[in-house]
Chains A and B, each alone.
Chain A
Amino acid sequence: GIQVEQSPPDLILQEGANSTLRCNFSDSVNNLQWFHQNPWGQLINLFYIPSGTKQNGRLSATTVATERYSLLYISSSQTTDSGVYFCAVVILTGGGNKLTFGTGTQLKVEL
């Protein structure tokens, strides 16, 4: 099946710093989403971004489908950004609507 690898696995930032999270996938996809899982376990959908670039406040995401990767940018990080960030994909052929989740990036933002 498709492999979805995220890097870095862990990241510690000082409040106000910027960061880039990466998601690599091994097959062509027609659906890619980024999620934030807060320390209480709730998963929040950040972006639906099978290709191109989107921005939402301090967050932005870029997917280069032909090169099989996506990036999530966090600017001016805040302590509330702490948690785990997952990318998830649906493969282009035979994937139906089933999301396969990546390995995750654990982010901690400190004061």
Chain B
Amino acid sequence: SAVISQKPSRDICQRGTSLTIQCQVDSQVTMMFWYRQQPGQSLTLIATANQGSEATYESGFVIDKFPISRPNLTFSTLTVSNMSPEDSSIYLCSVGTTGSGKLFFGSGTQLSVL
């Protein structure tokens, strides 16, 4: 399985600011996804990070709020913009390879917005 490094592991931010989360994989992967896990809840897919093109967002998530970059097959960033306390969640990067079916997750970023 791929080794996924996600940082920061946690952060406390002020309302109205932005935070960029990085996801680095030790091998090339075809699929990268970003998930959100609100306190005590299950995981919800934010978007699919597409290499070299705009991310594909799920219903309820927009690019202005959650801009995503994926410049190559091993790296992606998620920015949480203009944060409010409702954005306090764990954000997780997930990767997979075509044909394997299995997805693997980074260790997550615990975000608290004051």
Spell out A's residues near B (CB within 8 Å). Answer: 31, 33, 35, 41-43, 45, 48, 50, 86, 88, 96-104
Contacts and interface: CB of A to CB of B under 8 A. Distances in A.
A42 B108 contact: yes
B110 A41 contact: yes
Contacts of B103: 33, 45, 88, 99
Interface of B: 1, 31, 33, 42-45, 48, 58, 90, 92, 94, 96, 100-105, 107-108, 110
List the 3 closest A-B pairs by CB distance, nearest first. Answer: A43-B105, A101-B43, A48-B102
Given A43-B92, A86-B42, A50 B33 contact: no
A41 B107 contact: yes
Given A41-B107, A41-B108, A98-B33, A50 B45 contact: no
B48 A98 contact: yes
B18 to A, nearest CB: 22
Nearest to A84: B42
Given A45-B1, A97-B48, A101-B43, 11 more contacts: A31-B101, A35-B105, A41-B108, A41-B110, A48-B101, A50-B101, A97-B96, A98-B58, A100-B45, A101-B42, A102-B42
26 contacts: A31-B101, A33-B102, A33-B103, A41-B90, A41-B107, A41-B110, A42-B108, A43-B108, A45-B1, A45-B104, A45-B105, A48-B100, A48-B102, A86-B43, A88-B103, A97-B31, A97-B48, A97-B96, A98-B45, A98-B48, A99-B33, A101-B42, A101-B43, A101-B44, A103-B42, A104-B42
A32 B43 CA distance: 15
Contact of A45 (B42, B43, B48, B102): B102
Contacts of B44: 101
Nearest to A4: B42
Nearest to B100: A48
Contacts of A33: 101-103
